A and B are shown apart, each in its own frame.
Chain A
């Protein structure tokens, strides 16, 4: 399998009053044309990993790595201006809540057209046609009306589909989805996931799916990284997740109710400080 992205020894640090705080500590992994899940509780550094790849960590935050290779380019060696050609066009990101991630005072059409025209010299009318096509691709029926609408007039599910359309319109190689369904009603979560899945497959993209939901990730992804306290503690194939060996992963699994194995009492996750001391497991395929 060809490798789209290769991350080696990634650290994200933030200065605090008590010295440097390490949010991500020596994470390494690679991504092919696959769906890679990153799971962890809040504060485990999973979102920071996603944002560090796009170099979106703003000062005073610090990003360090041996390399973050996109194809043959080391993203860390790029200037801010060169990075702008990467963002959107080669790596894109869908965030948690469309209520906040869409600009409230711009029409949806303007925002999608903008995303397209930033990376192509297409005329306005061509960009408009392309945006309509993209909206239809995410199963939005009256795309013409939606183009003229404002984000507050959309439901959460619609908003997230619009977000996906906007992020995929420049045809990137990699999509980072950061908790894309956590803010949505359960009833539309599946639909949004299916749309994202279909588009990613059709286009042969790589997907990094960041979530706190272990079952969802096991169900949806090919491979899973489990993060704890800024480190990758375990890597496994999604369908073999139930054979995971790390006590943290097992703890996570055991704390979830299962229909096929009913228990009287769910286990409480016990955390061992030693887990955060062991070096990161490599997430290379």
Chain B
């Protein structure tokens, strides 16, 4: 009797956060493993002979066999998968077949470009999308609600690569207001030392205003484009979350207290949608980080999206798989981060 009591106590004394942490870590590990498995299978299914890609068409059978063995292709699939995981854990994605450099180095170079673009994009999306959604909910049925609805509908329906082309045509080709494709103009390439890999920040660190201005004129159009797409989604979701909160009883309580409508909305209602908003924002940030493939191609932006696509089109499998794993990892990390923020903003989740 006393014994069972003690074990019960012992279990209770284990802080609950340890258990949740273990559960979260376990689920991340499983998802990650699945991600690797799928990329591994895609790599094996690809109708490209990795040996042939290395040794070339005219290699002798013995060279071919040597490389075949070196790559571990003679081993059973499960062993090959083991090797693959081992390599990935060491951040070793193999060498690019295209330029013979380690894929991890390539990714370290292109990822900051995507990060810079996506971050600026999501910044536009949040700064404009959240207030628009809140206003649309507060003034439900008014002209601003209609405008928000049209903005979102057009955003959901417009092919991004086409809108990008039109943007380039109008703002670069005709009006000349912004820089063209690429991250900076040709005279500004490699002027500032790459510290973070994000040109805007590097230029600031170097106090080189010319580069900053030029880089900004290049990033503004693609970032605004990505921002518009996340704005459409964020404003729509914000609106429906807000409508749900505005009909809640605690809102009446705040009004009964004699609070101004502005404070009721921004201090009480908005506080209650933070958790849901975080999920939405994390999701669209993840989409921008991974899915800006088309935008990057239109704007010749040397980010991870165009890296993966170029690699795909030239059958550089190591680069494709490496890029995909990194993107998947970013997605999972963002999910964990938003889970953590939950606990900060919602006392009920603690």
Q: A interface vs B, CB < 8 Å?
A: 54, 56, 80-81, 84-89, 92-93, 95-97, 100-106, 114-115, 118-119, 150, 152, 163, 166-167, 170
Contacts and interface: CB of A to CB of B under 8 A. Distances in A.
Contacts of A97: 249
B196 interface: no
22 contacts: A54-B256, A56-B252, A56-B256, A85-B258, A88-B256, A88-B257, A95-B249, A95-B253, A101-B250, A101-B252, A101-B253, A103-B254, A103-B268, A104-B347, A104-B348, A105-B347, A106-B271, A114-B259, A118-B258, A119-B258, A150-B347, A170-B258
Nearest to A93: B256
Given A101-B253, A103-B253, A104-B272, 5 more contacts: A87-B258, A93-B256, A95-B249, A97-B249, A105-B274
B340 to A, nearest CB: 17
A150 B348 CA distance: 8
A20 B95 CA distance: 74
7 nearest A-B residue pairs (beta carbon): A88-B258, A87-B258, A100-B249, A150-B347, A88-B257, A103-B250, A101-B249
Given A95-B249, A105-B272, A114 B257 contact: yes
Contacts of A118: 257-259
Nearest to A81: B260
Main secondary structure of the interface of B (DSSP, over half): helix
A86 B259 CA distance: 11
Interface of B: 248-250, 252-261, 268, 271-272, 274, 345-348
Nearest to A107: B347
Q: Which of B248, B249, B259, B272 has the most CB of A within 10 A?
A: B249
A6 to B, nearest CB: 21
A95 B252 contact: yes
A84 B258 contact: yes
A257 B97 CA distance: 89
B345 A105 contact: yes
Contacts of A102: 250, 253
Nearest to A54: B256
A167 B272 contact: no
Given A54-B256, A56-B255, A97-B249, A103 B272 contact: yes
Nearest to A152: B348
A98 to B, nearest CB: 9
